[in-house]
Amino acid sequence: MTSFKQNFVCALKLTLLGALLTVLGGCAATLESAPPDVSSAQPLGVVPASELDWRKLPPPDHTLANFRPGETPDYCFDRATQPYTAVVDSHFHPKPFGGPAMDAQLLWDTFDRLGVRFVNYFGIGQVLELDANCSYYLDCPGVSAIPSIKNDFVNGLEKAAYDPDKIHITLSMTFIDLAHAERASETIALYDKEFPGMFTWSGELNMMKQALLGNNAEPASVESIAGWADFMEIFRERGVPVTIHSDLGNDAEPTKFLHLMDHALESYPDNKIVWAHMGLSKELTTMDAREHVRLMSERLDQYPHLYLDISWDVIYNAYHRWGEIFIPFFNQYSTRILPGSDFVAAASKTWENYAHELEVTSRALRVLDDEAFRNIALGQNYFELMDLPYEAPVLCTN
Ligand SMILES: [Zn+2]
């Protein structure tokens, strides 16, 4: 059944059965991330997918000033009247793989109107060959996608013109080729010269991205991870987090590539490493979510500097029963989770497209407990990870 039909049928069942949703199995999963057994601070009820729509979200009432400690002491964030979408987008790509991008001013206005106050500007680590005239790698197999400084420099120049009173942008170094990183520190020196102090994050770097293999991307190996030593030392000294995309595996072999991330974590346990998409991908959609959560928990327990990013609508779309398993996990590890959209701002996209993806990737946040909501959705983790002079606002006690 297509997901549209499935959604429609599920919505119908929901309308008819109302409170019996919790026993509907797959339908509950498609439509609703609220699990029946979440011990949430507030009764969240059951909401059909038709209600979960960015167009129905209230306008945000905050500005950056509300995140600066002491500046607005009377402000509190009211979950009952404010959108549940994240104020942080820790995984955002302002430029496409190739071709034209969305207008920068339009992007900033979009963040402002949707209440996204903190954004990581990730380059596309793999710009497609410039003469290929292709904006998405899957549309042009065979065209090489190789890590490069191009996107980062454009992002660096663009950031200089934004309004720092409305949005806080973090620039990210995305040029590093994890299969051949021995000389990355030389390029970091170039960034230091051209953009002093401006690039304070790194990633998204691809260790193993199966979807890119058709574009001549070379995955890292256990051997090449040893070659990260120089740049990882610089990042550790500077406290620079690095977001790594590393597929856990695929449907045939769900943990096929786990050894790569394990080796990176063992090799660089003192570096802040953010595992993009929790290792999930389009290639891995049938894994037992409980097993997935068990693997993630083990590693979070073992490596205190490991974080997970829950960006990309693939995660929401693929895991039909994800709420029941993932929400308690997010609540439990709420200091280790970062929200993000993984939006790629090609010129063909509109601000409404971003609003939609932000809402979909924020659905889990809607049903988090209050502490987890403040840590994840309101940015407290992000501020602490980056040592930024911001603080998540307190929640209103109605
Ligand atoms: Zn991404």
Query: Which stretch of 19-23, 69-73, 223-227 has the lowest confidence by average pLDDT?
Result: 19-23
Does any domain span residue 5? no
Does any domain span residue 11? no
pLDDT on residue 335: 98
Report which of residues 288 and 59 the model is more confident about. 59
pLDDT on residue 11: 38
What is the distance in A from the centroid of ligand 1 to the CA of 319? Answer: 19
| Neighbour-count burial for 19-46, b at 16+ CB within 10 Å, e otherwise | eebeebeebbbbbbbbbeebebeeebeb
pLDDT on residue 312: 75
Report which of residues 338 and 151 the model is more confident about. 338
Does any domain span residue 8? no
Does any domain span residue 376? yes
Cβ pair 208, 218 in contact under 8 A: no
For residue range 347-362, list pLDDT tens digits in order: 999 999 999 999 999 9
Q: What is the DSSP letter of 374?
A: H
Does any domain span residue 12? no
Q: Where are the alpha helices (DSSP H) in the chain?
A: 3-17, 26-31, 104-114, 150-159, 184-194, 222-225, 229-238, 258-267, 289-302, 313-318, 322-332, 351-361, 363-366, 370-376, 380-386
What is the distance in A from the centroid of ligand 1 to the CA of 377? Answer: 19
Q: How far apart are CA 390 and CA 195, in angstroms?
A: 23
Q: Provide the residue type at 143 as one letter.
A: V
pLDDT band per the 50, 70, 90 thresholds, residue 242 = very high
Does any domain span residue 316? yes
Q: Residue 335 class from Cβ within 10 Å (0-12 exposed, 13-18 middle, 19+ buried)?
A: middle
Number of structural domains the chain divides into: 1
pLDDT on residue 2: 37
Does any domain span residue 33? no
Q: How far apart are CA 38 and CA 55, in angstroms?
A: 27
For residue range 58-116, list pLDDT tens digits in order: 999 999 999 999 999 999 999 999 999 999 999 999 998 778 899 999 999 999 999 99
What is the distance in A from the centroid of ligand 1 to the CA of 89? Answer: 11
Q: Which of 345, 358, 278 is nearest to 85 (CA)?
A: 358
Cβ pair 375, 381 in contact under 8 A: yes
What is the distance in A from the centroid of ligand 1 to the CA of 122? Answer: 8
Cβ pair 329, 297 in contact under 8 A: yes
| Neighbour-count burial for 264-277, b at 16+ CB within 10 Å, e otherwise | bbeebeebbbbbbb
* pLDDT at 320 > cutoff 60: no
What is the distance in A from the centroid of ligand 1 to the CA of 15? Answer: 36
Token code pair at residue 300: 């979070």
Domain that includes residue 361, residue range: 59-386
DSSP states along 62-106: --GGGGSTTTSTT--B-TTTS--S-SEEEEEESS-SSS-B--HHH
Q: How far apart are CA 325 and CA 149, in angstroms?
A: 39
Q: Which whole number is the average pLDDT over 149-173?
A: 91
Residue 349's CATH number: 3.20.20.140
For ion ligand 1, residues whose CB falls within 5 Å = 204, 342
What is the distance in A from the centroid of ligand 1 to the CA of 276? Answer: 8
